[in-house]
């Protein structure tokens, strides 16, 4: 059986996340015998909001094959033109209105010649409720994507565990894998669903371990206790966490062979 092994890494938080990715991804790729790296870059700008074209290029140079996004994809205006470049393997949620720059999926050509579709969608529960329905949008996208390949993975960027589960069960057997991002906290519910689709509620992040979603905790705690506005700042304190998943897909059937969590803590 010819398989492809894909490592998906959660949201990179500011410079801390980029440094972790750049420093460790080559070793992890080797250790897990991964063929491809998919990484969520929506928080990789210095302030944790959005991504720039220079950061994306840097991540590609260090081994990223596809960069996905989320609710922060449009925070840096500089990146709009770059997002819209069809040659660049950087995507943002497909269910934003049609006037938004960028694309919601990218097709990667594997070494075997087969194609892999990587899709990005955003949830609406406790999030942007005016986005188009991610269920309907994926159904529409699949009519095209299925004509190209049976290897399809989805970064479902969402807040609520219920929406993520409902989304995964709805597309069980229709795509190879659905992994959640956005909460920055890895869940331990990774499994292959009855129809054959791999699923995990959230793959986590790359950032400071003893932070809050990668940000310094003190201002956030102050806000929680007083309700006063505060400025979120990327935490750069060690130790660090870099987390994600490794999925293995059968290149012929598109079925998932395995899903495994990756969770590494680094002291520096």
Catalytic residues: 72
By CB under 5 A, the count of residues binding Fe ion is: 6
Q: How far apart are CA 21 and CA 64, in angstroms?
A: 9
Q: Which one of residues 48, 50, 70, 207 is an interface residue with Fe ion (CB under 5 A)?
A: 70
Closest C-alpha to 57, from 25, 26, 29, 18: 18
Q: Is 186 one of the binding residues for Fe ion (CB under 5 A)?
A: no
According to CB under 5 A, which residues from 11 to 50 bind Fe ion? 11, 42-43
Closer residue to Fe ion (CB): 48 or 254: 48
Closer residue to Fe ion (CB): 110 or 160: 160
Q: How far apart are CA 21 and CA 153, in angstroms?
A: 21
Least distance CB 76 / Fe ion (angstroms): 14
Least distance CB 43 / Fe ion (angstroms): 5
Least distance CB 17 / Fe ion (angstroms): 10
Residue 17 Cα distances to 43, 80, 219, 241, 267, angstroms: 9, 22, 20, 9, 14
How deeply is 2 buried, as exposed, middle or buried, from its count of CB atoms within 10 A (0-12, 13-18, 19+)? exposed
Please give the structure tokens belonging to residue 67.
Answer: 């960069």
Q: Which one of residues 182, 240, 241, 254 is an interface residue with Fe ion (CB under 5 A)?
A: 182
Closer residue to Fe ion (CB): 206 or 259: 206
Residue-wise over 96-119: b if at least 16 C-beta within 10 A, else e? beeebbbbbbbebebeeebebbbb
Q: How far apart are CA 10 and CA 244, in angstroms?
A: 5
Residue 226: CB atoms within 10 A of its CB come to 9
Closer residue to Fe ion (CB): 51 or 141: 51
Q: How far apart are CA 246 and CA 256, in angstroms?
A: 11
Closer residue to Fe ion (CB): 14 or 254: 14
Least distance CB 11 / Fe ion (angstroms): 4
Closer residue to Fe ion (CB): 116 or 203: 203
Least distance CB 37 / Fe ion (angstroms): 18
Q: Is 71 one of the binding residues for Fe ion (CB under 5 A)?
A: yes
Sign of CA dihedral 47, 52, 55, 59: positive
Q: Is 164 one of the binding residues for Fe ion (CB under 5 A)?
A: no
Q: How far apart are CA 40 and CA 103, in angstroms?
A: 15
Is 69 in a helix, a strand, or coil?
coil
Stated as kind and residue range, the H or E segment containing 161 is helix 161-170
Which range binds Fe ion by CB under 5 A, 68-76, 80-88, 241-249, 250-258?
68-76
Least distance CB 4 / Fe ion (angstroms): 26
Chain residues that interact with Fe ion, rule: CB under 5 A: 11, 42-43, 70-71, 182
């Amino acid at each position: 059986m010819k398989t492809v092994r894909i490592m998906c890494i959660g949201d990179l938080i500011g410079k801390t996340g980029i440094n972790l990715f750049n420093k460790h991804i080559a070793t992890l790729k080797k250790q897990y015998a991964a063929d491809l790296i998919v990484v969520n870059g929506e928080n990789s700008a210095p302030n944790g909001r959005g991504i720039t074209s220079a950061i994306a290029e840097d991540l590609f140079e260090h081994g990223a094959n596809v960069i996905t996004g989320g609710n922060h994809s449009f925070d840096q205006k500089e990146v709009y033109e770059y997002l819209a470049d069809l040659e660049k393997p950087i995507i943002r949620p497909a269910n934003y209105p049609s006037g938004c720059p960028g694309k919601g999926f990218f097709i990667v050509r594997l070494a075997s010649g087969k194609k892999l579709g990587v899709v990005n969608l955003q949830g609406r529960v406790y999030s942007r409720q005016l986005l188009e329905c991610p269920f309907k949008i994926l159904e529409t996208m699949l009519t095209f994507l299925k004509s190209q390949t049976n290897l399809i993975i989805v970064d479902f960027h969402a807040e609520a565990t219920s929406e993520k589960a409902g989304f995964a069960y709805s597309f069980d057997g229709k795509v190879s894998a659905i992994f959640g991002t956005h909460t920055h906290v890895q869940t331990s519910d990774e499994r292959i669903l009855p129809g054959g689709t791999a699923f995990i509620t959230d793959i986590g992040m790359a950032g400071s371990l003893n932070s809050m979603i990668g940000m310094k905790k003190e201002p956030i705690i102050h806000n929680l206790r007083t309700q006063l506005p505060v400025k979120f700042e990327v935490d750069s304190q060690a130790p660090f966490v870099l987390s994600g998943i490794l999925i293995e897909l059968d290149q012929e059937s598109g079925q998932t062979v395995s899903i495994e969590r990756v969770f590494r803590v680094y002291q520096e």
